Amino acid sequence: MGLERLRPVTGDGLFTAFHGNEAWAVAHRLLLPLFGTFRIRDMFDDMRDVADQLCLKWARCPEGTALDLGSDFTRLTLDTVALTCLDFRFNSFYRNDSLHPFVQNVDAVLAEAAKRSTLPDFARFFRFRADQKFKKSTHYLFGVCQDMINERRRRGEDASRKDVLSAMVFGRDPKTGAQLSDEHIIHNMLTFLSAGHETTSAMLTTICYYLSHYPDKLAKAQQEVDDVVGRDALNVNHIQKLPYLEAVMRESLRLVPTAPTFFVTPYDDGVLGGKYQYRKGDVLAPALEVIQRDTNHYGPDSNEFKPERMLREEFAKLSEYAFKPFGNGLRGCIGRTFVWQESLIILAKLLQNFDLKKDDPSYELKLRSDLSVKPDGFYMRVSLRHGLKATDLSATAETYRGTLGSSQEAQVRSFDPQRTMHGAPKGQPIMILHGSNTGTCEALASVLASTCIAKGFAPHVVDTMDSAVGRLSAETPIIMITASYNGSPSSNSVEMVAWLEKMAAQFEPLTDLRYAVFGCGHSDWKDTYQKVPLLVHQLMANSGAKPLVSMGASDEAAGDVFSNFADWCQASLFPALCHEYNVEVVEDKVDVTPCSGLSISVNHPTRVQVTTDMTIPVKHHLEFRFLTDAGAGYEAGDHLLVLPRNDPEFVNILLDRLGMAWDTQITIGSGRALGVQDGTRLSVAELLGAYVELPTTLTAKHIRMLAAASSGEILKSQLDRMTGADNAPCLSLLGLLDLFPTSSLTLPVILQIAAPMRPRTYSISSASATKPGHGTLVVSTVPGGIASNYLANVEKGHVVYAKLNKNPTFRTKQTLDGSTPPLVMIAVGSGLAPFRAVIQELALRVDKGGDVAVERRARHQFPAYLFYGCRGRSIDEMYAEELDAAERKGIVSVRRAYSRECEGDSPKYVTDAVTAERDLLLDLWKTRGAVLRVCAGKKIADEVWKILGPLFQDAGPTAGMPEGEESLNDMTDLQRWRQRLAPNSGSQWEGRYKEEVFS
Q: Residue 485 and residue 463: Cα distance in Å, rounded?
A: 19
H or E element, residue 642: strand 639-643
Q: Which long-range contacts (CB under 8 A, 24 or more apart) does 582-586 make?
A: 583/427, 583/428, 583/455, 583/456, 583/457, 584/456, 586/454, 586/455, 586/456
Q: Which long-range contacts (CB under 8 A, 24 or more apart) does 965-972 make?
A: 965/989
Q: Is 431 helix (H, G, I), strand (E, B) or coil?
A: strand
Q: Are 865 and 886 in contact (CB under 8 A)?
A: no
Of 651, 623, 638, 643, which is closest to residue 790 (Cα–Cα)? 643
Q: Residue 536 and residue 787: Cα distance in Å, rounded?
A: 29
Query: Residue 333 annotated as binding?
Result: yes
Q: Are 611 and 624 in contact (CB under 8 A)?
A: yes
Q: Residue 60 and residue 388: Cα distance in Å, rounded?
A: 11
The 10 Å Cβ neighbour count of residue 285 is 11
Look up residue 332 and give its amino acid. G
Instruction: Tell me, letter by letter, the H, E, C secondary structure of 721-759.
Output: HHCCCCCCCCEEHHHHHHHCCCCCCCHHHHHHHCEECCC
Alpha helices in 665-818 (DSSP H): 684-686, 700-709, 713-722, 733-739, 747-753, 786-793
Distant-in-sequence, close-in-space partners of 200: CB < 8 Å, separation ≥ 6: 73, 77, 258, 339, 342, 343
Q: Is 379 helix (H, G, I), strand (E, B) or coil?
A: strand
Distant-in-sequence, close-in-space partners of 541: CB < 8 Å, separation ≥ 6: 547
The 10 Å Cβ neighbour count of residue 283 is 10
Distant-in-sequence, close-in-space partners of 126: CB < 8 Å, separation ≥ 6: none
Q: Residue 606 and residue 801: Cα distance in Å, rounded?
A: 6
Of 890, 893, 881, 778, which is closest to residue 845 (Cα–Cα)? 890
* Beta partners for residue 367, in sequence order: 375
DSSP annotation of 764: B
Strands (E), 846-921: 864-870, 892-898
Sign of CA dihedral 832, 834, 836, 842: negative
CA separation (Å) from 866 to 637, 863, 934? Answer: 15, 10, 10
Residue 407: burial class (beta carbons within 10 Å; 0-12, 13-18, 19+)? middle
What angle in degrees, to the nearest 10, is found between the helix axes of 128-155 and 182-193?
110
The 10 Å Cβ neighbour count of residue 341 is 18
Q: Residue 377 and residue 367: Cα distance in Å, rounded?
A: 9
Q: Is 23 helix (H, G, I), strand (E, B) or coil?
A: helix
Q: Are 106 and 141 in contact (CB under 8 A)?
A: yes
Strands (E), 742-863: 755-756, 760-763, 774-780, 799-805, 823-828
Q: Residue 790 and residue 510: Cα distance in Å, rounded?
A: 37
Which residues define the annotated binding site for heme?
333
Which residues define the annotated binding site?
333
